[in-house]
Amino acid sequence: MVMDMDGLRDAAAPKGAEVVVVGGGVTGLSAAWWLARSGVDVLVIDKGVVGWEASGRNGGGCSHYQSPLFLEEQRLWPQMDALLGYPTEHRPERIILAVTQGQWDQYRRIAGIIRSQGFAVDELDPAQAREAVPLAGDNAVGAIHVRTGGHANPQRTVQAYAWALQDLGGRVLQHMPALGLVLRGGRVVGVATPAGEIGCDHLVVAAGPQAEGLLLPAGIRLPLAAARAEMIVTEPLPPLRVGGTDGNGLYGRQTLRGNLAYGGGPHEWLDTEAAGPRGRPASPLLANLSRRLAELFPKAAHARVLRSWAGIVENTPDGRPVIDRPADPGNVTVCTMSGVGFGLSPASGHAVRDLVVEGRCSFAEIGKLGLDRFRDLPADWRERQGWVTPAAERAA
Amino acid sequence: MATVDPKSLHGKFPASREHVEVLVVGAGPAGTAAAIAAARLGAKVKLVDENPVSGGLAGLDVPLFFGGRAGAALGNGQRMLERVFAADPKLEEAFEAGVDLALGTTAWGLFAHGPGLQTLPGPVVGLADEGDAWLCGFDRLILATGARDLVLFFEGADQPGVMGAQALHALLGRYEAFDGREVVILGTGDLAVAAATLALDRGVAVAAMVEVRDAPEADVAPLLARGVPVLTGTVIRAAERGPFGVAAALLVGPDGAERRVPCDTVCLAVDRVPAVELLEAAGGALVADGARGGFAPRLVGPASSIAGVFVAGDAAGVAPGPAGDASAARAWGVAAARAALGYDAPAPAPAAGRDRNPYRLDWMRRLLAVGTPDVLACQCEDVTRGDVLGVRPPRYLGAPASPRALDTLLGDGPVNQDQIKRLTRACMGACQARRCREQVALLLALGAQIPVEAVPLAGYRAPVRPLPLGLLGRLDERPEMRDGWDVWFGIPTQWVPYDDIGTEREAEHLRGNMHL
């Protein structure tokens, strides 16, 4: 999509809002929606179309047992269609199917972690697994049936947040990139855009990989590395009982239409450009994904692959989210979910709203997700972790 | 020495199973001429063509809009292979020139380094036949993938018997496997005249030629002389449903009166679109160019924006004139081969002609004027014109009526066909939008009152042919891919339960893969 900068200059630049959110991904939009629900005057700006990056291109899973936001995620998802007023395609439950003994050991361990938080998980033997998952084959070793969790349609959900936000009086400005922060007296007072300065009392940055560069001038260091991850989708098949069935090293779901949409496997580290990715190409990895999906569902091996796609995903050095409102400058709240943002979005938006309005998260202890943990991170952390582009790898 | 992330793609793709100096995709006039020219210049050349396609793919209107009129003979693979080879003497010439000719071989993906992809051992094309899939590396690639039929729907267009002009040409000519006897042809341009002439020559009756404009676009005098009715100022409202598909065309004339013309086939011969999916899915630059038939490659001579990739023939821009003006296409092919191998090549003439969008829009406007919002815009996903303009979620969601529609979406930003696709599912089906991409774009242009060129292309993605999981899964895989596979990024700290972070229990979580 080529941006029409002339058109933007002609557009009437809004003066500002109480809270400006940079980033119309799932996290920023949920945060804005939560703020609007609290009566806050909120404006979201995005360099392109809402949900155009990783937020609209992921597996749609909503089952994140490792997160402090897990309970809130589980509480909210069954209500989201009603709360937003637009369909998200949310469906409950997950089945994770193992086709090797190693996977089976791993998935049972996950079952234990989920059970320890008070949720029911059944363990299915191969025969039970084949009954629960008609596309499974003779290679099924076992499955765990997670009675909580679920999945939803990322593209539809992102748009639902945006529309629900507008319905509450919030504003969304697409094709309006944040070119920089406007600082006065040690505080952030606005965002520079091609249409001029947009003022704010409080700034929320949920700008994905671009957040790091945007925040630096405000003295906030948010270390991030971005990579490309890929998915495939098949033609529709008859519906499984639990659409959220995956396993065999894949994540994904059967859509309500019946398509199998799955991803997984190796990623490619990229350098982040301020204006966003210049391309999101698929690679031959689509064939490796096809192979594993046919192993997971032998009875779907005939299903035709219609598309593959890629998303650019940011990660923090430890892969954990940052949800923080640093003391300095004090009126900036930062959120990245480090590659695991879609499913947790109902809860992450709530947490950001709480930080902006109340200064603390009201429903969960999230202290370990602060920026403080990166205080002593060496400057060359990406190289040390090998999170560098292939060109940099070759050069090394 | 920097660490290499063991979970990254680094070093995980194998070298391609085969490698050629010049790979040519598409054995039409341009591709065959390119392959022969390159071989005679001493290059090792492979020429692939997906024809004859399998019955399954033909049923999905791959590569052309067969509309259910491909005869059972198409299912006889060996016979069709012989027919395809025999139908074009140039193929034998290519064979004799030393070209490695692979018919029945589909090119489903082009992968080359560019922004966002740097891990390949080299540029490759994904190939597949009935039983196998593999990657073919190349030094130079010539895309001669031809053109697709422009598909415009009306009531009943989703039944057997509604097909494209190129598909009719292929079934009557190359395959001798056309299942129809009486055809109504939509359009009166060169494409339509060629379709009508071929039909008559092969003993198929032409019940009428239909033209929305007040005069024929091309010289129809020879057809009039052969007794073909040419109906100007006329549009099709519906194809009447019969037990074997189309039973009649219901036409609306300039006076608004409807007339029924019995036929078993309605042939869309309004226009053609360059087949650019391999190039675009690989990140190659396109430009909206109505004179070249829509989104066409950005070219310098025959060179595309991707290094080492060249385009020839209709894929470079649909030439005016009858489908496959062979001499011009051959000249393109030779020029592309010479340029690919570093020889001086006279720059091929771009497909000069008038902007086709006004003609396409005339058709779309008349079809909209006589049809209802319930006419399908996307057959695979059962999305109507009204669903597209209302930006409605699919009916199976049972969602409450929404105040959102194209006009409210336009308040948020310029029209974007990929966004409409995500919300309505139009263009998301098994035909990979070969039947709907252009007509949805025309609909959006009219709905948003903007030029067609202002509707961004609904992007193509690999695989550009719908191939089975099990077939694509046959690609070679290195042990490094198997051993380094992780469901997500393989960052163990990412999956430590929150309460265990910073406790003695953390260490036990840091072993093995985790799962979302």
Checking if the pLDDT of B328 tops 60, the result is yes
Determine the Cα–Cα distance for residues A268 and A289; give it in Å rounded to an integer.
Answer: 15
Residue A293: CB atoms within 10 A of its CB come to: 29
Assigned domain for A383 exists: yes
Determine the Cα–Cα distance for residues B96 and B105; give it in Å rounded to an integer.
Answer: 20
* Residue of A168 and B346 predicted with greater confidence: A168
CB B389 within 8 A of CB B368: no
Question: What pLDDT sits at residue B412?
Answer: 87
Determine the Cα–Cα distance for residues B61 and B55; give it in Å rounded to an integer.
Answer: 10
Model confidence at A4, in pLDDT bands (50, 70, 90)?
A: very low
Tell me the three-class secondary structure of B95-136, residue by residue: HHCCCEEEECCEEEEEECCECCECCCCCCEEEEECCCCEEEE
Question: What pLDDT sits at residue B350?
Answer: 63
Question: What pLDDT sits at residue B438?
Answer: 97
pLDDT in tens, A270-283: 999 999 999 899 99
* Alpha-carbon distances, residue A190 vs A45, A176, A277, B140 (angstroms): 12, 14, 24, 51
- CA-based nearest residue in chain A for residue B410: A174
Q: Does B498 touch chain A (CB under 8 A)?
A: yes
Residue B488 structural domain: 484-512
Question: What pLDDT sits at residue A8?
Answer: 43
* Contact (CB<8Å) B116/A281: yes
pLDDT in tens, A182-200: 999 989 999 999 999 999 9
Number of domains comprising chain A:
1
Closest CA to B188 of B161, B175, B206, B172: B206
B484-500: average pLDDT: 94
pLDDT in tens, A66-121: 999 999 999 999 999 999 999 999 999 999 999 999 999 999 999 999 999 999 99
In A365-384, the residues whose Cβ lies within 8 Å of chain B are 368, 383-384
Assigned domain for B262 exists: no
In A219-278, the residues whose Cβ lies within 8 Å of chain B are 227-229, 234-236, 247, 249-251, 256-257, 264-270, 277-278
At A87, list the tokens.
């369909």
Determine the Cα–Cα distance for residues B313 and B29; give it in Å rounded to an integer.
Answer: 8
Average model confidence (pLDDT) for chain B? 94
DSSP element (H, E) containing B470: helix B469-472
State CA B430 to chain mean position distance. 12
Question: What pLDDT sits at residue A1?
Answer: 32
Assigned domain for B244 exists: no
Place of tokens 């009392």: A201
Question: What pLDDT sits at residue A254?
Answer: 98
Question: What pLDDT sits at residue B54?
Answer: 86
Question: What pLDDT sits at residue A5?
Answer: 40
Question: What pLDDT sits at residue B390?
Answer: 95
Question: What pLDDT sits at residue B78?
Answer: 87
pLDDT in tens, B368-395: 999 999 999 999 999 999 999 999 999 9
CB B147 within 8 A of CB B273: yes
Last residue in a domain, options B296, B319, B341: B341
Helix (H, G, I), strand (E, B) or coil at B189: coil
* Residue of B174 and B308 predicted with greater confidence: B308
Sorted by sequence, the CB contacts under 8 Å of residue A106 that are 6+ apart come out as A98, B512, B513, B514, B515
At A55, list the tokens.
């937020």
B242-256: average pLDDT: 97
pTM: 0.96
Question: What pLDDT sits at residue B75?
Answer: 81
Determine the Cα–Cα distance for residues B489 and A217; give it in Å rounded to an integer.
Answer: 29
Helix (H, G, I), strand (E, B) or coil at B195: helix
Closest CA to A193 of A377, A14, A380: A14
Max Cα–Cα distance, chain A, nearest Å: 67
- CA-based nearest residue in chain A for residue B510: A318
Assigned domain for B243 exists: no
At A179, list the tokens.
């070119």
Q: Which residues pair with A181 in a beta bridge?
A: A191
Query: Could you give the percent of chain B with pLDDT greater than 90?
Result: 86
pLDDT in tens, A112-133: 999 999 999 999 999 999 999 9
SS3 content of chain A, % helix, strand, coil (to 5): 35, 25, 40
Rounded to 5°, the CA angle A392-A395-B1 comes to 95
Determine the Cα–Cα distance for residues A81 and A77; give it in Å rounded to an integer.
Answer: 8
Assigned domain for A138 exists: no
Rounded to 5°, the CA angle A358-A361-A367 comes to 125
Checking if the pLDDT of B77 tops 90, the result is no
Question: What pLDDT sits at residue A2?
Answer: 36
* Strands (E) located in B357-448: 376-378, 383-384
Residue A371 structural domain: 17-63+70-78+154-224+321-391
Nearest to B475 among A4, A284, A310 (CB): A284
Determine the Cα–Cα distance for residues A152 and A237; give it in Å rounded to an integer.
Answer: 18
Question: What pLDDT sits at residue A13?
Answer: 64
At A143, list the tokens.
């499955």
Residue A39 sits in a domain whose CATH number is: 3.50.50.60
Rounded to 5°, the CA angle A260-B159-B129 comes to 50
Average model confidence (pLDDT) for chain A? 95
Question: What pLDDT sits at residue B512?
Answer: 59
ipTM of the complex: 0.96
Question: What pLDDT sits at residue B516?
Answer: 43
Determine the Cα–Cα distance for residues B104 and B47; give it in Å rounded to an integer.
Answer: 11
CA distance A339 to chain B (A): 9
Q: What is the DSSP string of B306-371?
A: STTEEE-GGGG-PPSSSS--HHHHHHHHHHHHHHHTT---PPPPP-----SHHHHHHHHHHHHHHS
**Which of B416, B431, B450, B472 is best to mutate for the A interface (most A CBs within 10 A)?**
B472
pLDDT in tens, B21-31: 999 999 999 99
Model confidence at B321, in pLDDT bands (50, 70, 90)?
A: low
Assigned domain for B92 exists: yes
At B509, list the tokens.
């979580």
Checking if the pLDDT of B352 tops 80, the result is no
At B255, list the tokens.
């006076």
Closest CA to B191 of B268, B132, B251, B135: B268
At B445, list the tokens.
């242009």
A249-278: average pLDDT: 96
Assigned domain for A283 exists: no
Model confidence at A384, in pLDDT bands (50, 70, 90)?
A: very high
Assigned domain for A172 exists: yes
pLDDT in tens, B143-187: 999 999 999 999 999 999 999 999 999 999 989 999 999 999 999
In A49-108, the residues whose Cβ lies within 8 Å of chain B are 49-50, 56, 59, 61, 63-68, 70, 85-87, 89, 96, 106-107
Model confidence at A175, in pLDDT bands (50, 70, 90)?
A: very high
Alpha helices for chain A (secondary structure H): 5-10, 26-37, 70-76, 80-84, 101-115, 126-132, 154-167, 211-215, 285-296, 345-358, 381-385, 390-395
CA distance B439 to chain A (A): 20
Q: Write the single-letter amino acid at A154.
A: P
pLDDT in tens, A339-349: 999 999 999 99
A151-174: average pLDDT: 97
Question: What pLDDT sits at residue B107?
Answer: 98
In A169-198, the residues whose Cβ lies within 8 Å of chain B are 172, 174-175
Question: What pLDDT sits at residue B400?
Answer: 86
Rounded to 5°, the CA angle B193-B198-B201 comes to 125
Q: Does A47 touch chain B (CB under 8 A)?
A: no
Last residue in a domain, options B301, B326, B341: B341
Residue B63 sits in a domain whose CATH number is: 3.50.50.60
Question: What pLDDT sits at residue B103?
Answer: 96
A46-53: average pLDDT: 96
Number of domains comprising chain B:
2
